[in-house]
Chains A and B, each alone.
Chain A
Amino acid sequence: MKSIAELNAIRDRKKQAIDIREGGEKKYRVVVGMATCGIAAGARPVLTTISDMVQAEKLDDVIVQQTGCIGLCQFEPIVEVFEANDKKTTYCKVDASKAKEIVEQHLKRGQAVTEFMLSAADLEKAKA
Chain B
Amino acid sequence: MNEISLNILDVAENSVSAGASLCEVDVLADTESDTLTVVIKDDGKGMSEEVVKKVSDPFYTTRTTRKVGMGTSLFKMAAEVTGGKFEICSALGAGTTVTAVFGLSHIDRMPLGDISSTIHTLMVMNTGLDWVYRFKFDENEFTVDTREIKEATDGVPIDDPDVSGFIRDMLRENHKECGADNL
B74 neighbours in A (Cβ, 8 Å): 36, 40
Residue of A nearest to B125 (CB): A66
Residue of B nearest to A3 (CB): B170
Q: Does B10 contact A (CB under 8 A)?
A: yes
B120 neighbours in A (Cβ, 8 Å): 48
Q: Given that A7-B149, A18-B156 are contacting pairs, would A51 and B164 also be in contact in the complex, using a CB cutoff of 8 Å?
A: yes
Q: Does B181 contact A (CB under 8 A)?
A: no
In contact, B152 and A7 (Cβ under 8 angstroms) = yes
Give A63 to B125 CA distance when docked, in angstroms: 11
Residue of A nearest to B17 (CB): A68
Number of A-B contacts (CB under 8 A): 100
Q: Does B154 contact A (CB under 8 A)?
A: yes
Chain B: interface secondary structure?
Answer: helix
Q: Which of B6, B154, B170, B177 is A11 in contact with, Cβ under 8 Å? A: B154
A128 neighbours in B (Cβ, 8 Å): none
In contact, A39 and B65 (Cβ under 8 angstroms) = no
Chain B proximity mask over A1-38: 1 for CB below 8 Å, otherwise 0: 11111111011011100100000000000000011110
**Which B residues from 14 to 33 make CB contacts under 8 A with A?**
17
Q: Given that A2-B174, A54-B161 are contacting pairs, would A47 and B121 also be in contact in the complex, using a CB cutoff of 8 Å?
A: yes
Chain A: interface secondary structure?
Answer: helix
In contact, A2 and B163 (Cβ under 8 angstroms) = no
In contact, B164 and A55 (Cβ under 8 angstroms) = yes
Q: Given that A44-B6, A47-B121, A69-B63 are contacting pairs, would A36 and B152 also be in contact in the complex, using a CB cutoff of 8 Å?
A: no
**Which B residues from 152 to 172 make CB contacts under 8 A with A?**
152-156, 160-166, 168-170
Q: Given that A10-B163, A14-B162 are contacting pairs, would A39 and B156 also be in contact in the complex, using a CB cutoff of 8 Å?
A: no
Q: Does A125 contact B (CB under 8 A)?
A: no
**Could you list which residues of chain A lie within 8 angstroms of chain B, going by C-beta atoms?**
1-8, 10-11, 13-15, 18, 34-37, 39-40, 44-45, 47-48, 51-52, 54-55, 58, 64-66, 68-71, 73
A-B interface, 10 closest residue pairs, ranked by CB to CB distance from nearest:
A55-B161, A2-B170, A71-B65, A7-B152, A36-B71, A14-B156, A11-B153, A36-B70, A4-B152, A66-B125
- Knowing that A4-B144, A36-B71 touch, tell me 13 more A-B residue pairs with CB under 8 angstroms: A4-B148, A8-B152, A10-B163, A18-B155, A18-B156, A35-B13, A36-B1, A51-B164, A55-B162, A58-B161, A69-B63, A69-B66, A71-B66
